[in-house]
Structure 1
Amino acid sequence: MNLKKIISIVSIVLISTLVVYGFILIGQIFADNTKFSEKEIYVHIPTDANYDEVKKIIAPYVGNIDRFEMVANKMSYPENLSPGRYLFAKGMNSYELVKTLRRNVPVKLAFNNQERVENLAGRVGSQIEADSVSLLTSFKDSIFLKENGFNEDNVLAVFIPNTYEIYWNTTAEKFRDKMIKEYRKFWNKERVAKAAAQNLTPIEATILASIVHKESVKKDERPRIAGVYLNRLKLGMPLQADPTVIFAIKKKSNDFEQLIKRVFYNDLTMSSPYNTYMNTGLPPGPIAMPDITALEAVLTPENNDFIYFCASVERFGYHEFAATLSEHNKNAKKYSDWINSQGVKR
C-alpha cells in the first residue's frame, strides 16, 4: 500500500471520527438536560454567588451537570455570572439553560392591607432577595425620611398598594427609592389639588384614607364616610373613629395579631396620640395601608351633612348615618343591643 493511500485512509478515519464526535457533541449540547417534573420552575441566583454556588443551586434541576458545565464554559458563562430570577422550562437543553441564566425575569411584586411598615417589610421581603430587616432599615433611614418629608410615624404613606414589576435581586434601598418615585407619580398635580381642596396634604389624605379603609369594606360607602370625617374636621370635632382606638390598643400592647371586634367605653379614654376620641385632628400616621378606593374617597368625598354613623344591623357591612346626635343615639342603641345579644366580648 503506497503512502498516498495510507494518508487517504487516515484522513477518512480522522474525518469520520470528527463527524461522530461532532454528532455526539451536538447531541450533548441540544439534548434535554432537565430533571424536574413541573412544566416550569424559577431558579434564584443570589447576589455575589460564585460559579460553584450557582452549580449547587441549579444541580437539583439539571440532568447532567457536567454536560451543562461543558456548554457553560464554551459560552463564557462562569466569567459572566448575573444574580436574579430565572425561568427554567422542562425539556431545555444545556445551551438553552445557559441562555436562560442570562435573562433575568422580573417579579410581579404585590402588597396591600399592611397595618404597619414592619408588616410591609415582611411582605416585600418574601418576594425579593432583600430581607425584611434590610428593608425596614431602609424605610426608616433618617436621611431618606428627612429628604422626602416623612417620619417614622407616617412613612407607610409612601407605599401605594399595587402590583409592581421589579427584579428579584433589587436591593432594599433601590426598592424604597422606586416606591418614592411611584408615590410622586400617584400624587400628581390633580390629586394634590383635590387633597388641598379638602384642606389636606397628601400625607394627611393618606392618614384619613387609612381610617376610611378600616371603617368599611364596602367601596361604594367610602365616599360617604370620608364626607362625614371631613365634616367633623371642619367643625373641629374629634374624629371619634373606632379603628384608631383599635390601632392604639394594638400599639400599646405591641400585639398587632390580635383580633378586636368591639371597642368599650373605657377604651375611648386611653392615652394615645392615635385615640381620636381624646385628640382632635388626625393621628400622627396611617393606621393601615389604604387602598386606591379609600384614597379616592377622601379626594372625591360625598358632599353630605352627616356628622355621625354606626354599624347597621339590617345591612351588614354597611352603616347608618345621621345628621343629629339624637338620631345617631337611636341608631347606636339598636347596634349596641344587637351586639350584646350576640355575646361579643372583645
Structure 2
Amino acid sequence: MSKTVKDVELMIIGSGPAGLTAAIYAARAKLNAILIENAVVGGQVRSSYTIENYPGFKSVEGGKLADLMQEQALILGANIDEFDMVEKVYLSENEKIIETTNYTYHPEAVIISTGATPKKLPIPNEEQFEGKGIHYCAVCDGALYEGKVVGVVGGGNSALEEALFLARFASKVIIIRRYDYFKGEAATLEQVKNNPKIEIMYNYDLVKVNGSNFVEKAIVRNTQTGEKMDIALSAVFGYIGTEPKTELFKNYIDLNDQGYIKTDENMRTNIKGVYGAGDVRDKKFRQITTAVADGTIAALDAEKYIVEKKRGK
C-alpha cells in the first residue's frame, strides 16, 4: 500500500533545541513546514535534570525547558509530528524526498537536526549489562539506585552534572576519570568537589564490570601505573561523548571523520537547500545555546532559499 505524498516547503528532522528553534522561526515566517521526531520532542535536553547556563533561567529542569520550547512552537502554529520515523531519504539540489513510517514528503528545503547519542562504554561486556547497571541517562535511571554506590565515567560537563544529580539518590558517587583534569565548567566542578557524597578517581580507566545478572563491581586500571583494582558498586553511568545520528544521510551529505555534518556559517551543507543544525553539526562547542543559534540561522537561510527558488533566482 503506497504512502500518502505530502508537499511541504520545509522539513525539519529532529526536535532538540535546534529543531524546535527552526520550527519557531519557520512558523513565524508562515512557511508550510513540518518537524518530524521519531520519539518524544526535546532531544537530549529532556534528559538533563537541571540546566543553569541557559539565558533567562537561573535554573530550569531540562524537561521543563523542552516543554516551553515545544509550547511556543505550537502556539505560533508549528506543525510537529511525533513518533514518525524517517526511514529513507533522497537528497539532491533538484529533488528532496523524505520517507517516514507514515508518509512520503517532498520538501523544498530540509534542516537536519537529528542530534547525537551517547557513546557506549568501550568495555567487553557493555551489551550484557546495558540496562542492568550500565546506563547513559541519570535522569531516566538514577532513581533506581537509591542508597546505592554508583559510578560515573567521563570528564565533561555532562559527567559532572549527572554526578551531582545522582548524588541526590545514591549513597556515594564515584567519578572515574582517565586524566588528572576535567573539561567541564569550573563552577560545576567546584560543586562536585564540594559535594561530600562524590569521590573523584583521577587517572583511572574503566576496564570491565562484573556481576551475576546485574552490575556488582567495576574493574578499573590506573592509567599511569597500570595497576588494576575492583570497586564495589551497583551501576555505572557513561558520559564519554556522543555519536551523531547521520547514518541516513551519509550517502548525500559531506561528513567529517567522526560522522558529523559539515556546514558553512549559514548551516548550509554541500547540497543546496539542505542544512545541518545542532549537535549533529561539525563544530567545536555543543551547548543548548549554540544549538538554538544553529536552528535560527538554518531556518532564516532556508526561508531565503525557498523564497528565491520560487522567484526563479
TM-score range, shorter chain: under 0.3
Compute the TM-score of the two structures, normalised by the length of structure 1.
Answer: 0.21
Highest Rg: 1 or 2?
A: 1
Choose between structure 1 and 2 for higher RCO, CA contacts under 8 A separated by at least 6 residues: 2
In proportion to residue count, which structure has more strand?
2
